[in-house]
Amino acid sequence: MALRAAVLRHIRLPVQTLTATGSRPQPQWSFLRLFSSHDDHLTKEEVIDRVLDVVKSFPKVDPSKVTPDVHFQKDLGLDSLDNVEIVMALEEEFKLEIPDKEADKIDSCNLAIEYIYNHPMAG
């Protein structure tokens, strides 16, 4: 018995790691674990669609000009206070709580989409 244990301790078998066989495309920067109940994060297209909808339904914005890399103040001609209002609308849409300093930095659609996509609690 002790010999068996000693032999087993010394033998190492190579472990075949299972490679993901292209069943789901995994984005590089996501920190979600596949095959768990936590893989209900939003996809990037959903985030983009919803963010653009929120921005388009803002009364001071011309909907035809809104693209995923539009800058709120430079391209859409909005005010800094309008920026604050848009960020608040995004917070309400995705049920997030963005800290004040972070919310101040969100200036364009790009930043908003990136922030929301990388937020673990984005609804």
Residues numbered 72-111 forming contacts with other proteins, rule: CB under 8 A:
80-81, 83-85, 87-88, 95-97, 100, 103-104
CA distance 108 to 113: 9
Which residues share a beta bridge with 108? 71
Size of the residue set binding other proteins (CB under 8 A): 14
How far CA 86 is from CA of 11, 12, 42, 96, in Å, comes to 62, 58, 20, 13
Min dist. Cβ of residue 116 to other proteins (A): 14
Tokens 């078998």 locate to: 13
CA distance 113 to 98: 13
Is 69 a binder of other proteins (CB under 8 A)? no
Q: What minimum distance in Å lies between the beta carbon of 57 and other proteins?
A: 14
Q: 40 an active-site residue? A: no
Q: Closest approach of Cβ 111 to other proteins, in Å? A: 15
Q: Which residue number, 22 or 120, has a Cβ lying nearer to other proteins? A: 120
CA atoms within 13 A on the CB side of 104: 3
| Interface ranges with other proteins (CB under 8 A) | 80-81, 83-85, 87-88, 95-97, 100, 103-104, 121
Residues labelled catalytic: 79
